[in-house]
């Protein structure tokens, strides 16, 4: 078994709804292996995104711990979580969420600026875009790119500042099967080239094979786990 | 359908609220115009009458009808006609009756005392008179009131004190008329039972004061009518006057024109001795009122035009923005088979509902605006003042309906274009980022150039315009329109500059920008079009604010400067001097002893100096003199002489030292070097070719001469105007030169003796003690002028006050529009960017960085807008205020007009704008802090 980069202990999340509490996550205990592609699988509403937000320090759980590199990030102040996000984490969202007023290159470069990247930003941004196969269209605005291309920019942006771990929430949901496979291939390549850890949610069973570690969620509970 | 509409409205409450604000304001402003106009004109009409009463001591609101009955002529139809006219005149002229006084008298005749008095020869040339309602308006000084019955053939009568003394009568003296006979042919006998005077000193009943009835013996009106007024067979010569007093406070400004017209018709119709109609007492006042009314009504309406235009643009833009948001729904309806007509109907009903609501709120708000207008004292300056009587009449309702139709049109028109769009067209067009039509065809630049051309041509006609204004003509509305168009189009042109300015800053520091700055610059540069809506209003708010403040400040300050200059000192007056004229008159029938002439007793001017608040006193002697020309072929000419004591004068006068090349004291010092030195107005030099060092002679009306030497020329001098404007009878403006000699008082008094002079006072501003002294000592004046009181009057004039009020109101309205626009823009902008903020936060951007990003956007949008607005406002003021000022000029304009900007106004303006922006920012801050990242991101998933 590989090193564990991130693990959760008894994470519970609930939201107030009319007439009580809706338990979105119920006692989640998972381990994310370093330098691997981990897939969180489940139907929509099973709690994947909620879990992902907690793992990525975007949201606080009701209770439980999230241990990233020996530190429980749920206990950290917002300011420190911001720094962790900035340096260690990259996000790829289901809805592409590129910054609309910046072109592909600028989107990536902006992530570099934001993380306080020390090297040659121009070179790194181009490198990342090439890595996702977008070397040629880097000066296009997001709305001028196709869905798959936009998602690739988003990936390039997520990896640009060399984070330890990337969270990709349904990155293939809005893409056709072929493009989806392309995206997963890119992830695989990135793991090889940069040694990143990737956590990705999906409900597309066709992509499951690519996973080196797989958790299945149902009604906020882990119902299945598979390792390579 | 209706439910769809209501849901739609509820969903976009911010938009609906601003749309309502726009509509309500439009309604309120549109309605406030006729309301204010009526109320303010009513007030100034009433004031013009009451001022007349106060100044002249006479009640001017009455019609005089006169007729006579001639004994030898059997025809009394003229009299009957006038009597009938007196009954219907009030309804005919639409006047409210105050008092109808009928005065009748016999011709004067000789009457003899029957008492056989030795002290009095007893022959009096007197008349018998009667006046309706006399009993209620007199008090008896001695004796008793006449009785209503004839006792023993003797009619009882009362007389005025003057009459009593003049004729040396005694109480209960019986007089017998020589020529005035009873019906039976016996001589009429009267008995003086009392002496009367008016019961109240300012009783309007007495059109002629009791003292003026010097030959009238008043008897009972009933007895007079019975005994002497016989319309079938006249028994005596009777003169009759009907004084038809009306209540001028009930006079409506709307009826002024027709009242003048009808009065003049009547006057033409009845102009004989037997039938006379006279309304001259009030027509003069009414005509004067009409001239000022014309000017103020048109000016006030024109002043409102820019804000009305802005309101329409605002409503149009908001409803278009709303439509943009609703395009999805609309396109959906359309593709589901709704006809274009149905969609239009929805929007029509919606706009009608909005308009009706705004009418309900707008009318009272309009009335409130009027009250605010009525208390405006300057730009953004209010005082407590007697409130206007505001009423809602048909005209107001019509204005409201007009405004309603206008706003419905503005709201529905954009729908017509958009309602044809289906969902397919919509999706196709979504990503196209096109510039607005006006920007593509450079409409703003074209309009801007047109307004510059307008400005240029107005400058060419400046002199002619001034003459027009002095003739009481209406101002050319295009001038005001031109300035509004200039400001609006300059604002639009400036919008083209803003992206350039931002780009400049962005590229200049590209390497330095922190990520948040970087993002905000890119947002302004690439999403700028959306901000323009908000920026237009911000630019216009600031520009209009500055412009309005400058106009208001300039007209007021120039009017005040002018009054200060014309009056010369804070207070000036001429006392009534005691003299020996009575003595001279009484001896005039005999030979006037040699060397006896008019001698005055000079009152002590020093006594005013001791009064609290009086800082200095200066004696100023003025007389019209004549300058003798040495050569024969040149005509003598008339000159105003002002003889002064230089030291006192310099300490007392109000004089703007920038008017002359040197300080006025320098001139005074020169004048004081020699007793026969004089300063002359410059036209002596330019038109009469006098030079420094010339000797010349001026003489007064008595022919006494003074020789003097020219020591200097002045263009301006306290109270001196170089041109005299007057209207000739043909309505042509006549200009003539005024000449002035300033001489030393000592010299003039030495040559011509001490004659009544004016006293000019400098006060500390507090004149209470002075007035107390004047009242307690009962000082009599030939002339009295208080500069401060004069200025207060000017501030209260309809034109000035309305101008201040409307300029202030326009500014406040623009400010409200601006803040509504500002909030809408930012709320929409933040709502639309919630996902983006979530992404930023997910990428590790701090909350503070997002806020600093927004602040940066503020600086480069609002900040630049305020800057551009300031530039435009100042430019517009410099260019247009000198022209606009002409509207407010008078024939007495003496000092050059200056464009005045006061720091306090600007501080107030920017303070208000800054406060509004801060409040908006706080609201936005609250909105932003409510955003949660995870929720914001979820938004994007939908």
Say yes or no to pLDDT of B287 above 80: yes
In angstroms, what separates the C-alpha of B506 from chain A's closest C-alpha?
Answer: 14
Cβ atoms of residues B682 and B722 within 8 Å: yes
Beta-ladder partners of B357: none
In angstroms, what separates the C-alpha of B840 from chain A's closest C-alpha?
Answer: 9
Q: In the structure, what pLDDT confidence band is assigned to residue B385 with cuts at 50, 70 and 90?
A: low
Q: Model ipTM?
A: 0.80
Cβ atoms of residues B909 and B546 within 8 Å: yes
Cβ atoms of residues A57 and A73 within 8 Å: yes
- Most confident of the following: A64-73, B504-513, B515-524: A64-73
B522 to A58: CB separation less than 8 angstroms, yes or no = no
Average pLDDT over residues A105-120: 85
B934 to A115: CB separation less than 8 angstroms, yes or no = no
Nearest CB among B514, B836, B934 relative to A99 is that of B836
List of chain A residues whose C-beta atoms are within 8 Å of the C-beta of residue B840: 99
- Span of B172-176, B246-250, B682-686, B888-892 with lowest mean pLDDT: B888-892
Say yes or no to pLDDT of B744 above 70: yes
Average pLDDT over residues B55-84: 84
A114 to B839: CB separation less than 8 angstroms, yes or no = no
List of chain A residues whose C-beta atoms are within 8 Å of the C-beta of residue B523: 101
pLDDT at B584: 62
Nearest CB among A56, A58, A93 relative to B940 is that of A93
- DSSP class of residue B606? G
- Number of Cβ atoms within 10 Å of the Cβ of B135: 14
Say yes or no to pLDDT of A121 above 90: no
What is the residue extent of each domain of chain A?
33-62+76-227
CA angle at residue A96 from A90 to A100, to 5 degrees? 100
Q: In the structure, what pLDDT confidence band is assigned to residue B644 with cuts at 50, 70 and 90?
A: very high
In angstroms, what separates the C-alpha of B518 from chain A's closest C-alpha?
Answer: 8
Say yes or no to pLDDT of B588 above 50: no
In angstroms, what separates the C-alpha of A1 from chain B's closest C-alpha?
Answer: 30
A82 to B941: CB separation less than 8 angstroms, yes or no = no
Q: In the structure, what pLDDT confidence band is assigned to residue B383 with cuts at 50, 70 and 90?
A: low
* Span B592-617, pLDDT tens digits: 555 567 788 888 888 888 888 888 99
Average pLDDT over residues B701-717: 88
- Span of B70-79, B217-226, B291-300 with lowest mean pLDDT: B291-300
pLDDT at B620: 93
Say yes or no to pLDDT of B940 above 50: no
* Span B329-370, pLDDT tens digits: 777 777 777 777 887 888 888 889 889 999 899 888 888 888
* Higher per-residue pLDDT: B380 or B63: B63
User: Under the phi-then-psi rule, with left for phi > 0, alpha for psi from -120 to 50, and beta for the rest, what region is B811?
Assistant: alpha
Average pLDDT over residues B366-375: 79
List of chain B residues whose C-beta atoms are within 8 Å of the C-beta of residue A89: 844
Whole-Å CA distances, B629 to B268, B638, B689, B707, B903: 49, 11, 12, 12, 52
pLDDT at B731: 63
Say yes or no to pLDDT of B43 above 70: yes
Q: From chain A, which residues contact B within 8 Å (Cβ)? A: 49, 53, 56, 58-59, 78-79, 82-83, 85-87, 89, 91, 93-95, 97, 99-102, 106, 110-111, 113-115, 143
* Span A180-200, pLDDT tens digits: 888 888 888 888 888 889 998
User: Under the phi-then-psi rule, with left for phi > 0, alpha for psi from -120 to 50, and beta for the rest, what region is A170?
Assistant: left
- Span of B221-225, B273-277, B526-530, B669-673 with lowest mean pLDDT: B526-530
B526 to A106: CB separation less than 8 angstroms, yes or no = no
Say yes or no to pLDDT of B189 above 80: yes
Chain B interface test: which of A97, A140, A150, A160 (most B C-beta within 10 Å): A97
* Higher per-residue pLDDT: B797 or B213: B213
What is the percent of chain B with per-residue pLDDT over 90, rounded to a whole number?
8
Cβ atoms of residues A37 and A187 within 8 Å: yes
| Three-state helix/strand/coil letters over B241-296 | EEEEEECHHHCCHHHHHHHHHHHHHHHHHCECCCEEEECHHHHHHHHHHHHHHHHH
pLDDT at B942: 40
* Span B726-741, pLDDT tens digits: 766 666 777 788 899 9
Q: In the structure, what pLDDT confidence band is assigned to residue B590 with cuts at 50, 70 and 90?
A: very low
Q: Please state the length of chain B.
A: 942
Beta-ladder partners of B129: B105, B218
Instruction: Write down the mean pLDDT value for chain B.
Output: 81
Q: In the structure, what pLDDT confidence band is assigned to residue B157 with cuts at 50, 70 and 90?
A: very high
Nearest CB among B522, B845, B938 relative to A114 is that of B845
What is the residue extent of each domain of chain B?
100-246, 462-473+497-565+792-942, 577-779
B842 to A58: CB separation less than 8 angstroms, yes or no = yes
Tokens matching residue B247: 């209540």
pLDDT at B589: 44
- The CA distance from B841 to B847, in Å, is 7
pLDDT at B912: 79
* Higher per-residue pLDDT: B494 or B904: B494
List of chain B residues whose C-beta atoms are within 8 Å of the C-beta of residue A85: 842-844
Cβ atoms of residues B363 and B400 within 8 Å: yes
List of chain A residues whose C-beta atoms are within 8 Å of the C-beta of residue B841: 58, 82
Q: In this structure, what are the phi and psi dihedrals at residue B714, rounded to the nearest 5 degrees?
A: -130, 140
Nearest CB among A53, A86, A95 relative to B934 is that of A53
B839 to A85: CB separation less than 8 angstroms, yes or no = no
Average pLDDT over residues B91-111: 88
Cα atoms found within 13 Å of the Cα of residue B903, Cβ hemisphere only: 0
What is the percent of chain B with per-residue pLDDT over 70, rounded to a whole number?
89
Find where tokens 């919509």 sit: B426
Q: Cβ contacts of residue B44 below 8 Å, gap of 6+? A: B289, B292, B293, B797, B798
Helix, strand and coil content of chain B, in percent to the nearest 5, comes to 55, 20, 25
pTM of full prediction above 0.80: no
CATH number of A33-62+76-227: 3.40.50.300
* Span A149-165, pLDDT tens digits: 888 888 888 888 888 89
Give the torsion sign (CA, B395, B398, B403, B404): positive
* Higher per-residue pLDDT: B469 or B666: B666
In angstroms, what separates the C-alpha of B519 from chain A's closest C-alpha?
Answer: 8
Q: In this structure, what are the phi and psi dihedrals at residue B311, rounded to the nearest 5 degrees?
A: -60, -45
* Span B853-893, pLDDT tens digits: 888 888 888 888 889 999 999 999 888 888 877 777 766 67
What is the percent of chain A with per-residue pLDDT over 70, rounded to a whole number?
97
């Amino acid at each position: 078994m590989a090193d564990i980069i991130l693990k959760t202990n008894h994470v519970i999340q609930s939201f107030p709804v009319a007439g009580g509490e809706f338990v979105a996550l119920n006692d989640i205990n998972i381990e994310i292996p370093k330098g691997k592609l981990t897939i969180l699988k489940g139907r929509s509403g099973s709690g994947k995104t909620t879990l992902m937000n907690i793992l990525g320090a975007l949201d606080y759980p009701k209770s439980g711990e999230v241990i990233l590199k020996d530190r429980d990030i749920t206990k950290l102040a917002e300011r420190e979580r911001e720094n962790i996000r900035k340096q260690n984490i990259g996000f790829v969202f289901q809805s592409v969420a590129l910054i609309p007023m910046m072109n592909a290159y600028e989107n990536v470069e902006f992530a570099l600026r934001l993380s306080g990247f020390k090297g040659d930003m121009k070179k790194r941004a181009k490198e990342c875009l090439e890595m996702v196969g977008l070397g040629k269209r880097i000066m296009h605005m997001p709305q001028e790119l196709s869905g798959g291309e936009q998602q690739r920019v988003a990936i390039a942006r997520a990896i640009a500042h060399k984070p330890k771990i990337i969270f990709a929430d349904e990155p293939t949901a809005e893409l056709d099967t072929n493009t989806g496979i392309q995206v997963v291939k890119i992830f695989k390549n990135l793991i090889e080239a940069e040694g990143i850890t990737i956590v990705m949610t999906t409900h597309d069973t066709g992509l499951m094979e690519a996973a080196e570690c797989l958790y299945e969620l149902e009604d906020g509970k882990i119902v299945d786990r598979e390792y390579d | 359908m209706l439910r769809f509409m209501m849901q739609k409205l509820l969903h976009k409450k911010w938009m609906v609220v601003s749309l309502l604000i726009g509509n309500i304001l439009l309604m309120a402003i549109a309605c406030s115009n006729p309301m204010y106009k009526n109320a303010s004109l009513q007030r100034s009409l009433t004031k013009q009458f009451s001022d007349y009463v106060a100044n002249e001591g006479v009640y001017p609101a009455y019609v005089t009808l006169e007729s006579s009955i001639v004994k030898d002529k059997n025809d009394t139809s003229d009299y009957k006609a006038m009597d009938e006219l007196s009954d219907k005149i009030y309804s005919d002229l639409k006047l409210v009756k105050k008092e109808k006084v009928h005065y009748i008298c016999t011709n004067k005749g000789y009457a003899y005392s029957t008492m056989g008095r030795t002290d009095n020869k007893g022959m009096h040339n007197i008349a018998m008179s009667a006046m309706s309602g006399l009993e209620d308006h007199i008090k008896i000084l001695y004796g008793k009131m006449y009785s209503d019955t004839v006792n023993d053939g003797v009619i009882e009568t009362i007389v005025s004190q003057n009459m009593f003394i003049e004729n040396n009568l005694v109480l209960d003296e019986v007089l017998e008329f020589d020529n005035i006979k009873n019906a039976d042919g016996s001589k009429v006998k009267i008995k003086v039972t009392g002496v009367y005077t008016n019961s109240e000193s300012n009783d309007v009943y007495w059109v002629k004061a009791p003292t003026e009835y010097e030959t009238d013996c008043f008897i009972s009106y009933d007895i007079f009518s019975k005994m002497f007024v016989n319309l079938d067979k006249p028994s005596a010569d009777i003169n009759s006057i009907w004084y038809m007093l009306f209540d001028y406070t009930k006079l409506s400004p709307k009826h002024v024109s027709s009242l003048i017209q009808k009065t003049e018709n009547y006057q033409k119709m009845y102009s004989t001795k037997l039938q006379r109609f006279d309304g001259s007492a009030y027509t003069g006042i009414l005509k004067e009122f009409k001239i000022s009314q014309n000017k103020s009504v048109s000016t006030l309406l024109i002043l409102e035009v820019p804000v009305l235009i802005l309101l329409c643009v605002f409503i149009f833009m908001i409803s278009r923005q709303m439509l943009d948001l609703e395009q999805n729904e609309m396109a959906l309806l359309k593709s589901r088979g709704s006809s274009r007509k149905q969609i239009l109907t929805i929007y029509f009903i919606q706009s009608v509902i909005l308009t009706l609501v705004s009418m309900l709120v707008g009318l009272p708000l309009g009335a409130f605006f009027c009250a605010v207008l009525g208390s405006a004292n300057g730009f953004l300056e209010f005082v407590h003042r007697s409130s206007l009587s505001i009423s809602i009449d048909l005209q107001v309702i019509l204005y409201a309906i007009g405004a309603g139709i206008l706003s419905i049109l503005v709201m529905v028109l954009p729908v017509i274009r958009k309602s044809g769009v289906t969902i397919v067209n919509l999706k196709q067009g979504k990503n196209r980022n096109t510039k607005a039509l006006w920007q593509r065809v450079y409409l703003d630049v074209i309009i801007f150039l047109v307004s510059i051309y307008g400005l240029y041509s107005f400058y060419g006609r400046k002199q002619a315009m001034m003459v027009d204004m002095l003739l009481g003509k209406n101002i050319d509305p295009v001038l005001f329109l031109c300035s509004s168009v200039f400001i609006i189009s300059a604002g639009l042109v400036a919008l083209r500059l803003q992206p350039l300015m931002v780009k400049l800053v962005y590229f200049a520091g590209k390497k330095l920008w922190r990520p948040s700055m970087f993002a905000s610059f890119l947002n302004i540069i690439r999403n700028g079009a959306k901000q323009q809506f908000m920026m237009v209003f911000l630019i216009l708010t600031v520009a209009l604010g500055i412009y309005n403040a400058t106009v208001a400040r300039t007209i007021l300050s120039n009017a005040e400067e002018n009054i200060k200059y014309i009056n010369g000192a804070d207070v000036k007056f001429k006392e009534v001097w005691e003299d020996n004229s009575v003595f001279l008159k009484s001896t005039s029938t005999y030979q006037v002893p040699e060397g006896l002439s008019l001698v005055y007793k000079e009152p002590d001017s020093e006594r005013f100096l001791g009064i609290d608040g009086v800082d200095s006193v200066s004696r100023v002697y003025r007389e019209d003199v004549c300058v003798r020309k040495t050569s024969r072929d040149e005509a003598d000419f008339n000159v105003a002489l002002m003889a002064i004591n230089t030291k006192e004068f310099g300490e007392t006068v109000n004089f703007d030292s920038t008017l002359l090349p040197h300080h006025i004291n320098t001139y005074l010092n020169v004048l004081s070097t020699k007793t026969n030195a004089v300063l002359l107005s410059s036209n002596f030099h330019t038109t009469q070719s006098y030079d420094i060092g010339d000797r010349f002679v001026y003489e007064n009306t008595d022919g006494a001469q003074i020789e003097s030497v020219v020591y200097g020329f002045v263009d301006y001098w306290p109270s001196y105007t170089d041109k005299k404007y007057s209207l000739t009878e043909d309505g042509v403006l006549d200009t003539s030169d005024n000449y002035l000699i300033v001489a030393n008082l000592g010299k003039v008094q030495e040559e011509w003796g001490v004659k009544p002079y004016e006293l000019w006072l400098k006060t500390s501003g507090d004149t209470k003690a002075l007035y107390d002294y004047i009242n307690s000592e009962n000082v009599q004046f030939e002339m009295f002028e208080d500069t401060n009181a004069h200025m207060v009057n000017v501030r209260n004039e309809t034109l000035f006050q309305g101008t201040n009020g409307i300029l202030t109101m326009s500014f406040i309205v623009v400010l409200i529009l601006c803040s509504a626009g500002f909030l809408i823009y930012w709320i929409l902008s933040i709502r639309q960017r919630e996902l983006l903020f979530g992404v930023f936060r997910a990428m590790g951007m701090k909350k503070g960085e997002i806020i600093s990003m927004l602040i940066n956007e503020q600086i480069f949008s609002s900040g630049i807008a305020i800057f551009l607005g300031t530039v435009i406002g100042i430019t517009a003021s410099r260019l247009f205020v000198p022209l606009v000022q002409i509207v407010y000029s008078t024939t007495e304009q003496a000092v050059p007009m200056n464009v005045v900007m006061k720091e306090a106004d600007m501080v107030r303006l920017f303070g208000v704008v800054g406060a509004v922006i801060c409040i908006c920012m706080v609201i936005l801050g609250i909105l932003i802090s409510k955003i949660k990242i995870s929720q914001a991101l979820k938004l994007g998933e939908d």
